[in-house]
């Protein structure tokens, strides 16, 4: 029977199904909407088709109380998913809708340390969304506009609310949209790099989460952070769900048996 991994995040719900032999037979991303738990239950559909349903993400406890058979944290899920896709992975950078984290794996793919942002949305996908809105650009275009622009201004505020008013002031001063977009991207990239340095960068680094799915962003980050070998999965948003499904299937590439 199949195994379902479901990652219920603040912005999206990722779903991965593994078949009997542990092969991924589907992987999809949905908007969380205003009621993520109900949405997740709906997406899971007919529960009887699954041997295990493993939930992760901030909605994991709700899902476990409702329909999931097991849960793991998003830290473990991203670690499992990333080291399955890239078995040599030693560092995971995950930037999601409302949190960001850096995970250190040992040579066996086991989590040995991690850091995670505190309560605020600084340096997360939410931050980028808010800034893109102020800039009047879709996220994808924001990266392109930034890459083509000069580096002239700095965003000083980490706080999403303050940074937003800074963006508005810069635009009012007459700074071109691309220049301000560049400042926004640099701000989030530098924050991510700062987290990486705090943990100590052990390559290879795998970049996961919704922010890594923004076209052009991983390449921009890799250049700025001086990480030419940055690894990015095809579907960065599904790494958490994949990790959850792998856990349910009892598959860990080279790690110890799951607890």
Minimum CB–partner distance for residue 76 and another protein (Å): 5
Nearer to another protein, 125 or 218 (CB): 125
Q: Give CA–CA dist 244/76, Å, rounded.
A: 8
Minimum CB–partner distance for residue 160 and another protein (Å): 15
Instruction: Determine contact, residues 13/6, Cβ cutoff 8 Å.
Output: yes
Nearer to another protein, 147 or 258 (CB): 258
Minimum CB–partner distance for residue 141 and another protein (Å): 31
Contacts with another protein by CB under 8 A lie at 58, 61, 72-76, 99, 111-114, 116, 118-119, 259
Tokens at 39, concatenated: 């949405």
Minimum CB–partner distance for residue 103 and another protein (Å): 9
Nearer to another protein, 51 or 61 (CB): 61
The number of residues in the chain equals 259
Tokens at 155, concatenated: 């965003």
In the beta sheet, which residues pair with residue 4? 17, 53
Nearer to another protein, 59 or 218 (CB): 59
Residue showing tokens 């994808």: 140
Q: Give CA–CA dist 233/249, Å, rounded.
A: 21
């Amino acid at each position: 029977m199949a195994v379902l991994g479901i990652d219920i995040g603040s912005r999206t719900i990722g779903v991965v199904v593994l078949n009997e032999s542990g092969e991924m037979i589907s992987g999809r991303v949905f908007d969380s909407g205003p009621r993520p738990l109900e949405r997740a239950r709906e997406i899971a559909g007919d529960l009887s088709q699954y041997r295990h349903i493993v939930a992760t993400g901030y909605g994991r406890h709700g899902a476990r109380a409702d329909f999931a058979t097991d849960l793991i944290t998003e830290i473990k899920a991203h670690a499992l998913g990333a080291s399955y896709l890239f078995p040599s992975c030693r560092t995971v950078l995950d930037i999601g809708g409302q949190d960001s984290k850096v995970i250190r794996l040992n040579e066996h793919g086991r989590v040995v340390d991690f850091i995670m942002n505190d309560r605020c949305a600084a340096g997360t996908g939410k931050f980028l969304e808010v800034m893109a809105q102020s800039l009047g650009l879709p996220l994808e275009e924001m990266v392109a506009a930034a890459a083509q622009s000069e580096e002239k201004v700095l965003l000083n505020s980490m706080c999403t609310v303050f940074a937003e008013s800074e963006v508005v002031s810069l635009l009012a001063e007459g700074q071109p949209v691309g220049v301000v977009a560049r400042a926004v991207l640099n701000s989030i990239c530098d924050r991510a790099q700062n987290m990486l340095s705090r943990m100590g960068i052990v390559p290879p680094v795998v970049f996961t989460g919704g922010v890594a799915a923004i076209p052009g962003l991983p390449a921009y980050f890799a250049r700025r952070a001086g990480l030419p070998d940055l690894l990015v999965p095809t579907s960065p948003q599904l790494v958490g769900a994949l990790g959850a499904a792998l856990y349910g299937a009892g598959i860990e590439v080279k790690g110890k048996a799951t607890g």
